[in-house]
């Protein structure tokens, strides 16, 4: 079966961005001209996904509103003859079919996926996209994983090489290379110290979950911190001999979950923007000379 649905967990508190996220979701912070979450949704849509389930929590209404119509705004833009911006605004609600489920408590990314699973067919694979990671690539990041899923019929995690000193922030995999960008995963170590990391291939926030992972996730016990994590479910899957693949993402990934990565994404995307790239380049040159 092909991947038609995506789950996007957006229940996190965004503490790394306080005070900017005190009264607004971190997913609504803009990268150039649209919120991070719209970039993520557009990546999924560009990969052919038409149904998106957001896993939300209290305080995240702005995300629901963003992917809904806003008739009053559209009416006013129409009256003012602002056609181009009207098109941009009204297109957002039509990007896909959106559904929202609530995660009753912040109990881990696996727990968030479990909240959406009742709305997924037991036999259909699903894409999972985290709002923190932005991927800028010719072939959308999640489409790269979907291609690996089609070929291998097993769950797929996205990976990218990171400096060894940073492995403690990620799940790190090791395995056997089975294709130009694909590894059959043998080990998945969550947040290893650099000297214990089995490689420099770090897992980033894109997954395709094969249906055989669902029962494993349902049975997954909470870890030491009380959270049900996808990472632990992948570990269990490997112990049970359930195949797991890692796809090395071709493209640039920005960790928008921290202020530096967020700024890098803004600068990089603005430098590709038709109207912003020249004046921004001039500004950066001038500023860096000082």
- Footprint on this chain of ligand G1P (rule: CB under 6 A): 109, 130, 132-133, 170-171, 190, 202-205, 229, 231
Q: Which is nearer to ligand G1P, 96 or 204 (CB)?
A: 204
Please report how close the Cβ of residue 110 comes to ligand G1P at its closest, in angstroms.
9
**120 vs 203, which CB is nearer to ligand G1P?**
203
Min CB(152)–ligand G1P separation in Å: 20
Which region holds residue 57: left if phi is over 0, alpha if psi is between -120 and 50, else beta?
Answer: beta
Name residue, tokens 């090395």: 248
Question: Cβ 33 to ligand G1P, closest distance in Å?
Answer: 25
According to DSSP, the residues that pair with 153 across neighbouring strands are none
| 86 vs 206 by CB, closer to ligand G1P | 206
Q: Shortest gap between Cβ of 130 and ligand G1P (angstroms)? A: 6
DSSP 63-98: HHHHTS--HHHHHHHHHTT-HHHHHHHHHHTTSSEE
Q: Name the DSSP letter for residue 49.
A: -
CB of 30 to ligand G1P, least distance (A): 21
Q: Return the number of other C-beta atoms located less than 10 Å from residue 220's C-beta.
A: 23
Between CA 25 and CA 50 the distance in angstroms is 23
Q: How far is the CB of 151 from ligand G1P (least distance, A)?
A: 23
The nearer residue to ligand G1P, 204 or 208, going by C-beta atoms, is 204
Question: What token pair was written down for 106?
Answer: 């912040």
Q: Of 123, 134, 126, give the one whose Cα is nearest residue 205.
A: 134
Q: Least distance (Å) from ligand G1P to the CB of residue 115?
A: 16
Q: Which is nearer to ligand G1P, 124 or 166 (CB)?
A: 166
For ligand G1P, the closer CB: 130 or 149: 130
Count of C-beta atoms within a 10 Å radius of residue 242: 16
DSSP state of 122: T
User: Which residues are within 8 A (CB) of 56 and not within 5 positions of it... i.e. 6 or more apart?
Assistant: 10, 11, 63, 64, 100, 101, 102, 103
Query: And the tokens for 269?
Result: 């995307």
Residue with the closest Cβ to ligand G1P?
A: 171
User: Distance between terminal CA atoms of the chain?
Assistant: 57
Looking at the Cβ atoms of 3 and 173, the one nearer to ligand G1P is 173
CA distance 14 to 132: 10
Which helix (DSSP H) or strand (DSSP E) does residue 201 occupy?
strand 201-209
Q: Report in angstroms how near the CB of residue 22 gets to ligand G1P at its nearest.
A: 21
Would you say 3 or 11 has its CB closer to ligand G1P? 11
């Amino acid at each position: 079966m092909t991947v038609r649905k995506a789950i996007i967990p957006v229940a996190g508190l965004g503490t790394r961005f306080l005070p900017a996220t005190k009264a607004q979701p971190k997913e609504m912070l803009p990268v150039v001209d649209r919120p991070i979450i719209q970039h993520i949704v557009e990546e999924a849509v560009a990969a052919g996904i038409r149904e998106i389930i957001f896993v939300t929590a209290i305080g995240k209404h702005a995300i629901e509103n963003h992917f809904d119509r806003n008739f009053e705004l559209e009416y006013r833009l129409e009256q003012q003859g602002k056609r181009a911006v009207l098109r941009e605004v009204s297109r957002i609600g039509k990007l896909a079919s959106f559904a929202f489920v609530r995660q009753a408590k912040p109990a881990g990314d696996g727990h968030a996926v479990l909240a959406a699973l009742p709305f997924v067919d037991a036999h259909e694979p699903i894409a999972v996209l985290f709002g923190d990671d932005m991927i800028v690539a010719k072939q959308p990041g999640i489409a790269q994983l979907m291609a690996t899923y089609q070929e291998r019929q097993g769950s797929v995690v996205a990976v990218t090489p990171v400096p060894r000193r940073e492995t403690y922030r990620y799940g790190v995999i090791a395995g056997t290379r089975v294709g130009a960008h694909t590894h059959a995963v043998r080990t998945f170590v969550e947040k290893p110290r650099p000297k214990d990391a089995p490689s420099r291939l770090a897992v980033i926030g894109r997954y395709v979950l094969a249906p055989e992972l669902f029962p494993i996730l349902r049975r997954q016990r909470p870890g030491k911190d009380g959270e049900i994590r996808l990472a632990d479910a992948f570990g269990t899957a490997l112990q049970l001999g359930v195949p797991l693949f890692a796809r090395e993402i071709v493209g640039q990934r920005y960790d928008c979950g921290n202020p530096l990565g967020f700024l890098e994404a803004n600068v990089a995307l603005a430098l590709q923007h038709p109207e912003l790239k020249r004046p921004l380049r001039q500004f950066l040159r001038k500023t860096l000379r000082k």
